[in-house]
Amino acid sequence: MSLDRIRPSDARADTPLTAAVSAARWIRSAAIDDEHGRRWRANPDPRGRSALAPEPSSLYAGAAGVVLFFLELAAATGHESYLEDARAGARRLAATWRGQDDPTLYHGLAGTMITLMEAGWALGDEALEEQAGAIADHLVRRGAAAPGGARPRDAARLPDGGWTRDPAQFRDGGWTRDPAQLGDGGIVLALLRAAAHFGEPAYEEAAVEAGLRIAALPVPGHRFGERSGPPPGLPADAVTPGFLAGTSGTAFLLARLYGVTGDERFLRAARSGADFVREVSVVGDRCASVPHHVPHARRLHYLGFCSGSAGVARMFYELYRVAGDPGDLDWVERLARGVVESGVPARRTEGYWNTACQCCGAAGLVELFVGLWAATGRPSCLELARVLAADLIARATDHDGRGYRWYQAYRRLRPGEVSADTGYMVGAAGIGAALLHLDAAGRPDSARRVLLLPDNPFPVIPVPPSSLPSS
């Protein structure tokens, strides 16, 4: 890929690491301690209002994501004090998770479980790991207790190994009745991670059972579940090919399940989703862009993770990783070229507006290009990641000396609602994590593991093997 080398003229002198440290200083100013441990206000500004409704424990915008950031910052800097931040937050998550009702990855229990697994391992705290295992057990029981969530006793096997049942049971099974990453899909990915972490077959079995229900959908993941309907602002008949709430994220899950099980049913279903995404995409000269939703917004092309190229590229890379078809890697590169040709970061488009976060902004693009460099070793990918990071750092604000934060219009349709948040997918913790991943990519002589969520297919050591020193 040939990438632009334009750097913002007002880029700060900070490195990605020093910018992440400054972001941590601001997040620390939002800390609230109680008898259970620590959480962080979503927006500590005087009279500040978060981009989202309060989610004090969530991975998306609450304590779970902030804990992950502090764990990474401790590994990057060697400073024990960041481990203390992470420990205080993890202990509160461990003490309060039973009060959470949402089972999902980004907004609920599955995300808390991921964070407690990582914190327990990094801190050497068996009590945190025990609570992570308790959450996994709870999720398995809850999924089995839901309508259609367990294999019916009187079901008969089909020739392909599946089970006969009422199609309505497939629709209503699982945890949320939504197959997308924001629903059952994210929970399945989290259970697969838990199965690998704990060596517990029951977690994988529950994930596979739920995955088979999802794979039975005609075009897996492209319909909204009955739990919540379409996201706000979208028509009821909208179809989203993107990642968090659409086809690409579900196809990613099915590809992951194929890689785990070798079951061709998962690969066929993942291919069905990928073919749908190809069909609705706009393809140019070695480039591709994905519409936000069809049939109403074919010309609205997000670039970020949630609904745009950065997320869809993950799906195609996962397919390439587990099945080895070079055509899937070609689509990863087409989507990446589409981002480059859009003119980021200097040029704002309708799908790349005033947003900096992991979910729909520049930090998600940093993650994409660092991941692509780690997977392919192409210097142009790392160069664009550095350009995007320099622009992010230049956009940081520290008007009161408390540290870096990023003011953004999280909702594209409400450009006047500008706020700065502390959380992972929507704020400074996730931006800081993306900068730390870039920092790790620039240190091949001291390669370190980075904390990637279960829906990230790229290497956890963000350095191409050819760059690592030989033993």
Report the predicted TM-score, pTM, of the whole model to 2 decimal places: 0.90
Say what the pLDDT of residue 47 is. Answer: 73
pLDDT in tens, 193-209: 999 999 999 999 999 99
3-state secondary structure 195-234: HHHHCCHHHHHHHHHHHHHHHCCCCCCCCCCCCCCCCCCC
- Across the range 171-192, mean pLDDT stands at 89
pLDDT at 434 over 80: yes
Which of 48-57, 79-88, 344-353: highest mean pLDDT?
79-88
How confident is the model over 47-71, as a mean pLDDT?
Answer: 89
Distance in angstroms (rounded) separating the CA atoms of residues 84 and 70:
9
Overall average pLDDT of the 5-34 stretch:
82
- Give the pLDDT band (50/70/90) at residue 145: confident
* Neighbouring-strand partners of residue 52: none
Q: Which residue has the higher pLDDT, 410 or 129?
A: 129
Q: Kindly state the average pLDDT of the residues 82-109.
A: 97
Distance CA 156, CA 285 (A): 50
- Please state, rounded to an integer, the average pLDDT across all residues of the chain: 88
> Is 373 in contact with 435 (CB distance < 8 Å)?
no
CB proximity list for 255: less than 8 A, separation 6 or greater: 266, 267, 270, 315, 318, 319, 321, 322, 323
CA distance 40 to 423: 9
* Mean pLDDT to the nearest integer, 283-294: 90
Distance, CA of 397 to CA of 415 (rounded, Å): 18
Name the pairing type of β-strands 37-40 and 31-34: antiparallel
Residue 222 has what pLDDT?
52
CA distance 315 to 329: 10
User: What are the tens digits of pLDDT across the range 375-408?
Assistant: 999 999 999 999 999 999 999 999 999 999 999 9
Confidence band, pLDDT 50/70/90 cuts, at residue 173:
low
Q: Are strands 37-40 and 288-289 parallel, antiparallel or unpaired?
A: unpaired
Closest alpha carbon to 311 in 319, 302, 320, 300: 302
